[in-house]
Structure 1
Amino acid sequence: MPEPHAVAYQPTDTLKPVAEDIWIVDSGPLSAMGLEVPVRMTVVRLASGEVWLHSPTSYSDDLKAAIERLGPIAHLVAPNVAHWQFVKEWKDRCPDAKTWAVPGLRTRAPVIKSGVVLDQDLGESPPGAWSADLDQLLITGGFGVNEVAFFHRASKTLILTDFVENLEPAKLGPVARPLAWLAGATAPDGMAPAHYRFAMNRQRDATKDAARHLLGWAPERVIFAHGSWFETDGTKRLRHSLRWLLD
């Protein structure tokens, strides 16, 4: 198994600029489906001056202070059924922030047991709090596997979670590497992992419509939670990652 520093994208737990008013924070590694994988949060400063955290990663006082230099942390977003574990850490330290959850998340047993407070479900259209900055789309699969995608209009950046993964083999150990390859989530041709595709295929027509909607936004870049994100040629690379659905 590789050392943690070799899996995660260095430096970790640090704001990294993407475009005007949008940053990423790389963290991890995180254990997912038996693999040690890097994980990523996206940070957006809204036109209101408030800050929006998508898929919050591990909390630290230093990271909170760095983010608060951008503006007050106002929104904590749990965008799918797997990316909610660190929301409670942030909510406990940012009690005035509102928490948002993908539909179906709040009723899951591990979520209830954790005691995390989820204030409101995400809908099919953006709430007034960020409608001036972000479009959003609810992607609904089977078995409660849902994800909300976001599009930062000013920078033409698509923000996903697990709908695309692009794990670099060099960052995985000799056991994990073939497992990730079999799951279809390795670079440079990343796509949704096998278990995610299986769930989404239960609602294949609706998921295909959602994929076309994402492409219709014509993103210049695509950020997602695990692996090497698409910094350039976003629409072209997204289209290739969706070959399991559209070809």
Structure 2
Amino acid sequence: MSRLNDEWKVEKHGPLEMLGEGLHSVAGEINMPLGHFPRRMTVLTLQGGRLAVWSAIPLRETEMAQLESMGSVAYLIVPGVAHRLDLKAWKHRYPAAKVVCPPGAREAVAEAVPVDATVDVLDDPTVAFQTVPGVDGKEAALLIRRPDGTSLVVNDIIANVRHPDGLGAKVMARLMGFGVKQPQMPWVGEKMFVKDHAAVAGALRAWAAEPDLARIIVSHGDVITDRPREVLEKIAAEVSD
């Protein structure tokens, strides 16, 4: 696991993009030998002018000012054990923000900062914080149901790294199954986290059955907007095999 950053360390990243009603995302990068591996932060506006930040990435001050203009940072969601790299810096900048993670990640996240909750405390009827079934409590998901469509935010159970940058990133993405050709469950994540394949497949199928499913937002790679329902059903079938 990478050493945790204590300071606000800005790596290369793109703009804060609006994906849907009260839903923004930033594509960033992690420096690695011989390349840069993609990572993604999601920012969700909740009722009452509050913000929930999923898989936090330090941004340039221009983008941080844009983010802060949307509301107050109330929650820092750590979706899995490997996504706490910049948590200390964010908590230092927003000390009142509550830290939320799935129960199986609590011990690892607490090595960075204290955890406030491992259940849904977002207090917004359009948003559901979930612990993914079948992964020993180590992965979280968000289901966002709004008038312009339903969005699913997942972490390391689905990846869509279609454009790895640099030799190291290309090798890592291909060898570990991070979705270079099509969205997939990384084999490294399946090996490390999945304890009950049937339960994971059931969750994927339940999400696929959501009315008005418009997109799947992953922590590594491009947002999935092309037939997201079919993507979930295909991965569920692969997990079940």
| TM-score in terms of structure 1 length | 0.81
Partner of 1:150: 142
Partner of 1:41: 41
The code of the aligned residue for 2:202 comes to D
Residue aligned with 2:208, SS: helix
Matching of residue 208 in structure 1 with residue 209 in structure 2? no
Q: In 2, distance between residues paired with 1:213 and 1:137? A: 13
Residue aligned with 1:202, SS: coil
Q: In 1, distance between residues paired with 2:175 and 2:82? A: 20
Partner of 2:3: none
Alignment coverage as a number of residue pairs: 228
Larger deviation: 235-244 or 72-81? 235-244
Give the counterpart of 1:163 among 151, 157, 160.
157
CA contact (8 A) 1:24 1:42 kept: yes
Give the counterpart of 2:188 among 187, 192, 195.
195
How much has 1:113 moved relative to structure 2?
Answer: 4.3
Give the counterpart of 2:176 among 170, 179, 183.
183
Unpaired stretches in structure 2, ≥5 consecutive residues? 1-11
How much has 1:232 moved relative to structure 2?
Answer: 3.3
Question: For residues 50-199 of structure 1, what are the structure 2 equivalents within 5 Å?
Answer: 50-108=50-108, 111-114=109-112, 116-121=113-118, 123=119, 126-127=120-121, 129-130=123-124, 132-141=125-134, 146-154=138-146, 155-168=149-162, 170-199=163-192
Partner of 1:228: 222
Q: In 2, distance between residues paired with 1:113 and 1:161? A: 20
How much has 1:161 moved relative to structure 2?
Answer: 1.2
Q: In 2, distance between residues paired with 1:212 and 1:35? A: 35
Larger deviation: 177-186 or 230-239? 177-186
Q: In 2, distance between residues paired with 1:172 and 1:93? A: 30
| TM-score in terms of structure 2 length | 0.82
Q: In 2, distance between residues paired with 1:35 and 1:105? A: 28
Residue aligned with 2:64, SS: helix
Larger deviation: 198-207 or 220-229? 198-207
The code of the aligned residue for 2:115 comes to L
CA contact (8 A) 1:38 1:226 kept: yes
The code of the aligned residue for 1:45 comes to T
Q: In 2, distance between residues paired with 1:231 and 1:162? A: 18
Larger deviation: 147-156 or 175-184? 175-184
How much has 1:62 moved relative to structure 2?
Answer: 3.2
Partner of 1:28: 29
Unpaired stretches in structure 1, ≥5 consecutive residues? 1-10
Q: In 2, distance between residues paired with 1:76 and 1:128? A: 11
Q: In 1, distance between residues paired with 2:40 and 2:143? A: 16
How much has 1:94 moved relative to structure 2?
Answer: 1.1
Residues 113, 52 of structure 1: alpha-carbon distance in 2 compared, 3 angstrom cutoff? closer
